[in-house]
């Protein structure tokens, strides 16, 4: 399709007719990127610049002292920072993998298989989307306690296996796959597991990428589990430890370590979103979210 000037509406490469859009988009992109630049600069500021007034946006004398102090310090119970970071990496990795597996299996079953209570399960999942975490803290605690997961490493992982919004997105995405394709696979002798592995999974990669982002951010930044369900300090996560840097001990010295910890917390979110962000919009379009 061509516009009145004889050029493509959406050319594959840059066209001179796009300059009018860039005049608006480039300043907006720079403005939206300022918080990212600030986080990087803030992490390398010495204590003098952290408390300087008026505050400076860019660091003047960058230093690695904040990171050195962060990795050298231990909590009041003697647990090193590296232990909290290790816990976060293991918990996040396992939860993301498990949530993708559970979400894709459940989405396939709810979309393409027929069984009793299917509609009821869909309603329960859709209702669960409307509740924020704080609203179900007490019921969640009672369930976790009844399962014997208090002070267990699994309490970080099991509650995050079924993400209601993730199941909704995957189910809606799988709904777009023609049933004729499923039936053709069955005619060729494929069972449900083979259809799931060889047909469904390759076609829902954008949805899986979206769920990976949602699950990663939800688990990596979570402090609720360590606060409510964990008493053993060695089982708590880096997000929880970062929240204690400026609330215990020397709050002035903790500002530098908190700035470095904030960058460490932010970097994985930035990297995974940059890698997978193309798939997010594809998922939203196919799931019917406008």
Map out the domains of the chain as residue ranges.
Answer: 16-68, 79-287
What confidence tier does 92 reach under pLDDT thresholds 50, 70, 90?
very high
Average per-residue pLDDT for the chain:
82
Q: Is the pLDDT of residue 11 over 70?
A: no
Q: Please give the average per-residue pLDDT across 99-122, as a whole number.
A: 90
**Residue for token pair 């003098």:** 48
Give CA–CA dist 117/92, Å, rounded. Answer: 32
Of 8-17, 51-60, 211-220, 258-267, give the lowest mean pLDDT range.
8-17
Based on the number of CB atoms within 10 Å of its own CB, is 45 exposed (0-12), middle (13-18) or buried (19 or more)? buried
pLDDT, tens digit (0-9, with 9 covering 90-100), for 158-183: 888 878 888 888 898 898 888 888 88
Q: With bands split at pLDDT 50, 70 and 90, how would you rate the model's confidence at 87?
A: very high
Is it the case that residue 3 has pLDDT exceeding 50?
no
Inform me whether the pLDDT recorded for 200 exceeds 60.
Answer: yes
Report whether pLDDT(284) > 70: no
pLDDT at 290 over 60: no
271-279 contacts: CB < 8 A, separation 24 or more?
272/212, 272/213, 272/216, 273/213, 276/209, 276/210, 276/212, 276/213, 277/213, 278/206, 279/205, 279/206, 279/207, 279/208, 279/209, 279/210
Tokens of 183: 């039936």
Separation of alpha carbons 283 and 208, rounded Å: 9
Q: pLDDT tier at 246 (50, 70, 90 boundaries)? A: low
| Whole-structure pTM value | 0.78
Q: Is the pLDDT of residue 27 over 50?
A: yes
> 131: how many CB neighbours lie within 10 A of its CB?
11
140 versus 245: the higher-pLDDT residue is 140
Q: Contact at 8 Å (CB) between 112 and 179?
A: yes
More confident residue, 283 or 37: 37
Lowest average pLDDT, out of 94-103, 117-126, 217-226, 279-288, goes to 279-288
6 token code pair: 């004889």
Query: What's residue 74's pLDDT?
Result: 63
Q: Which is more confidently placed, 149 or 76?
A: 149
Top-confidence residue, 279 or 111: 111
Task: Give the CATH number of domain 79-287; options: 3.90.1150.10, 1.10.150.120, 1.10.3720.10, 2.60.40.10.
Answer: 1.10.3720.10
Please state whether the peptide bond connecting residue 54 to the residue before it is cis, i.e. omega within 30 degrees of 0.
Answer: yes
What is the rounded CA–CA span in Å between residue 242 and residue 261? 6
Exposed/middle/buried for residue 237 (C-beta within 10 Å: 0-12, 13-18, 19+) = buried
With 70 as the cut, is the pLDDT of residue 248 above it?
A: no
């Amino acid at each position: 399709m061509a516009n009145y000037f004889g050029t493509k509406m959406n050319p594959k490469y840059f066209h001179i007719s796009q300059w009018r859009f860039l005049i608006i988009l480039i300043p907006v992109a720079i403005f939206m990127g300022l918080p990212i630049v600030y986080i990087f600069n803030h992490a390398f500021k010495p204590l003098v610049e952290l408390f300087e007034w008026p505050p400076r946006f860019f660091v003047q004398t960058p230093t690695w002292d904040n990171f050195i102090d962060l990795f050298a310090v231990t909590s009041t119970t003697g647990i090193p920072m590296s232990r909290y970071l290790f816990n976060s990496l293991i918990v996040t990795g396992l939860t993301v993998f498990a949530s993708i597996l559970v979400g894709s299996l459940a989405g396939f079953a709810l979309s393409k298989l027929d069984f009793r209570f299917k509609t009821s399960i869909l309603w329960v999942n859709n209702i669960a989307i409307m509740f924020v975490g704080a609203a179900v803290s007490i019921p969640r605690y009672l369930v976790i306690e009844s399962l014997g997961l208090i002070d267990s490493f699994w309490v970080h992982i099991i509650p995050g296996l079924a993400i209601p919004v993730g199941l909704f997105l995957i189910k809606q995405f799988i709904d777009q796959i023609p049933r004729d394709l499923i039936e053709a696979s069955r005619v060729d002798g494929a069972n449900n597991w083979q259809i799931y592995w060889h047909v469904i999974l390759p076609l829902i990669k954008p949805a899986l990428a979206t769920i990976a982002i949602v699950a990663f951010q939800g688990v990596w930044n979570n402090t609720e589990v360590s606060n409510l369900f964990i008493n053993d300090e060695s089982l708590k996560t880096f997000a929880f430890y970062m929240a204690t840097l400026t609330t215990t001990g020397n709050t002035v010295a903790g500002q530098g370590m908190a700035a470095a910890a904030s960058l460490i917390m932010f970097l994985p979110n930035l990297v995974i979103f940059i890698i997978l962000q193309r798939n997010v919009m594809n998922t939203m379009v196919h799931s019917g979210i406008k």
